[in-house]
Amino acid sequence: MDLILLIDILGTIAFAISGVLMAMNKRLDPFGILIIAFVAAIGGGTLRDILINAPVVWMLNLTYVYVVFGTTILAVVFRKRLTYIKRSLFLFDTIGIAFYTIVGVEKGIAAGFPPLICIALGTINACFGGVIRDILCNEIPIIFRKEIYATACIVGGSAYFILLQTPLQSDFVVVISFVSVMIVRLLAIYFNLSLPSVYSKKEIE
């Protein structure tokens, strides 16, 4: 229980910092920085809840609001030190997308949606905070352009449903799916992988 809360908070922190960095890069004012941090941290969950017609989680549980608030202030004040914890941040982010993928998948199952939609909900939960963050900052969302990020979530979500067909206990299903998101993401970064390009050389020139 406590471990789950810790993971949730670490993910929220990593996502909020990604928002702070993007907002400061665009030279937004303090209110703008705060909003982009919020959107990055809770946008994916908000879209998930609206799509499945459930109450929006951060409106009922203020933990997220406090965490984003505190993270934003600390990130702005210590922004020059953020490079020192770059690795930890990357790890938090990886833990975060793995966690939110599973949460999205399980909320989809609980609401009675078919597996394909649950995988989509997991991916939306993990990735669309970043999409809305980028849109508000007038950028084409980075996950549509490069890096294996959403793909890791899709792999993990698919693993979940494949493992459900096996006699594995549900706890193991969760842990293995969670870890598979992390492994795909970490391998992609380590080997600097992207999705194969669909463009011919001629088209790119």
Smallest distance, a second copy to C-beta of residue 108, A: 9
Using rule CB under 8 A, residue 192 touches a second copy: no
Applying CB under 8 A, among 30, 70, 110, 168 the residue interacting with a second copy is 30
Return the number of the residue (14 or 131) whose C-beta is nearest a second copy.
Answer: 131
Interatomic CA distance for residues 34 and 178, integer angstroms: 29
Applying CB under 8 A, among 126, 137, 155, 173 the residue interacting with a second copy is 137
Q: Please report, as residue ranges, which positions from 31 to 90 form the binding site for a second copy (by CB under 8 A).
A: 31-33, 35-36, 46, 50-53, 55-56, 59-60, 62, 65, 76
Q: Long-range contacts: 158-167, Cβ < 8 Å, 24+?
A: 158/119, 160/102, 160/105, 160/118, 160/119, 160/122, 161/105, 161/115, 161/118, 161/119
Q: Please report, as residue ranges, which positions from 95 to 134 form the binding site for a second copy (by CB under 8 A).
A: 113-114, 116-117, 120, 131
129 neighbors 41 (Cβ within 8 angstroms)? yes
For the purposes of burial, counting CB atoms within 10 Å of the CB of 203, is it exposed (0-12), middle (13-18) or buried (19 or more)? exposed
Smallest distance, a second copy to C-beta of residue 172, A: 28
DSSP 90-102: HHHHHHHHHHHHH
Binding site for a second copy (CB under 8 A): 23-24, 26-33, 35-36, 46, 50-53, 55-56, 59-60, 62, 65, 76, 113-114, 116-117, 120, 131, 135-141, 143-146, 150-151, 194-199, 204
